[in-house]
Structure 1
Amino acid sequence: MSLAIPTQTSFQGRYVQVNGITMHVIVEGSGPEVLLLHGFPDTHAIWREQIPALVEAGYRVIAPDLRGCGLTDMPRHVSDYRIGTLVQDVAALLDALGVERVRLVAHDWGAAIGWQFAIQHQHRVVRYAALSVGHLSCYTTAGWMQKLKGYYIALIQLRGFAEWLFTAFDWAFLRFFADAPHEYLHVRAGKSAAGRMTAAMNYYRANLGLLIPRQHGFVNVPVMGVFSTKDRFLVENQMVRSEAYCKAGWRFERLEGVGHWMTSEAPERVNPLLLDFLR
């Protein structure tokens, strides 16, 4: 059963049965479907500036709270958050909504899921816009600077302590970690309910194997990678080198002076890119 926490946006949500859980999802507009996948530690609220723009442009927007996040059920076992299960959630969501193919847009952890979904279910993806996180084979071979920027992954493995660290002293570490005042209240609202921070951290705990360099496959639909130069957690080369895995076309866009949460920090720059690419 989902916990009663604020939805953080004014969009009207619905609940669907997906892969053994109840998922909360925003469905707005009509026309070709666009699926939006959020990352850590977010909810569908990260897309609050994109949903109206996409609807106005004539799209039907689907923006779920992913497993464990927002108003979606949060299974208690770490193993419930393995990437294979997260990819299955996406396919099951489209099945539940009667959607065959989508234009896919994803950020952060959602982008990691999006890459795998586009590889494994390419017949269901028209084109894919990956924000911040590049192809997983490129992320794992991005060098020592990427490993240093990903220090928090090691912290998150300290179960119990990590949850305390992120929320203690009026969430001081989270505010430092994110360095995104425009997003802080949304993240705090989504993670204040019991168990929600643990569920979000389980994405990292369940998928340590993804950090081992290996080949994750090729994408056979057009891809746009968007990287923001003030991203505190990612290096640019893990996105740029993703071109080698995109066999049906690649476009790279750099947002100068923008931080990690680009969709809410610079929607006036992100939205035109998405509308142009999705068209």
Structure 2
Amino acid sequence: MAATVPHRVQRLVAISVGHPGGAWGAGGAEQRAASWYFLLFQYQGKAEQLLQADNWRLFREFMGPHVGSEDMATYIRDLFRPGALSAGLAWYRANFQVERFAATEPALDMPKVACPVMGVWSTGDQGLLEPQMLVSSKFVREGLWRYERIEGAGHWVPRDAPEQLNELLLQFLPLPVKL
């Protein structure tokens, strides 16, 4: 949206996930290995079955050590509702092209983002590696890219490092926010 309808976006914050045009080319085989789950999620029905098997074992492993037992129980309870897990996986199914998984060139041809952009990535993210965030700078006009790295948090930065993220957001976003 920031690239194609620029008058609608004053500033953009990308948390954990870099620009979709460069993600797969950046990080090479290491990024593809870390993002194996993107392929799994394409198998409707089978992915749901595997994630729930053995008391949600694969899902628990996938979510990683940053998730406490109380949060994990809440996630599983919510995803166990009829259709909820499939609805969550539908995002991956709609926004990921399997044929682009091995891409070495940008996947999207679109204008550069013309507003200030802050990319935030965390060192504990095991699914999306740092190069896929760093390459995002190539998709933003010169001088409008800012990169912030948070140490120790996992993929879910708002959950894992809310104070650090809020501090960065308050520095980056103009106040008051006009809706």
Separation in 2 of the partners of 1:268 and 1:259? Answer: 14
Q: 1:211 to 1:200 in 2, by over 3 A?
A: farther
Normalising by the residue count of structure 1, what TM-score does the alignment of the two structures yield?
A: 0.55
Residue type at the aligned position of 1:121: V
Q: 1:147 to 1:228 in 2, by over 3 A?
A: same
Separation in 1 of the partners of 2:140 and 2:13? Answer: 12
Unaligned ranges ≥5, structure 2: 101-105, 175-179
8 Å contact 2:41–2:89 — kept in the other structure?
Answer: yes
The corresponding residue for 2:62 is 177
Name the structure where strand makes up a greater proportion of residues: 1
8 Å contact 2:22–2:107 — kept in the other structure?
Answer: no
- State whether structure 2 residue 144 is matched by structure 1 residue 260: no
The corresponding residue for 1:93 is none
**Structure possessing the higher relative contact order (Cα contacts under 8 Å, 6 or more residues apart):** 2
- State whether structure 2 residue 85 is matched by structure 1 residue 201: no
8 Å contact 1:229–1:255 — kept in the other structure?
Answer: yes
Residue type at the aligned position of 1:236: E
8 Å contact 1:227–1:239 — kept in the other structure?
Answer: yes
Give me the CA root mean square deviation: 1.8
The corresponding residue for 1:157 is 42
Separation in 2 of the partners of 1:125 and 1:190? Answer: 32
Q: 1:221 to 1:210 in 2, by over 3 A?
A: farther
Separation in 1 of the partners of 2:139 and 2:123? Answer: 22
Identity of matched residues, %: 39
Residue type at the aligned position of 2:154: G
- Give how far 1:216 is off: 3.7
Unaligned ranges ≥5, structure 1: 1-116
Q: 1:177 to 1:249 in 2, by over 3 A?
A: same
Normalising by the residue count of structure 2, what TM-score does the alignment of the two structures yield?
A: 0.83
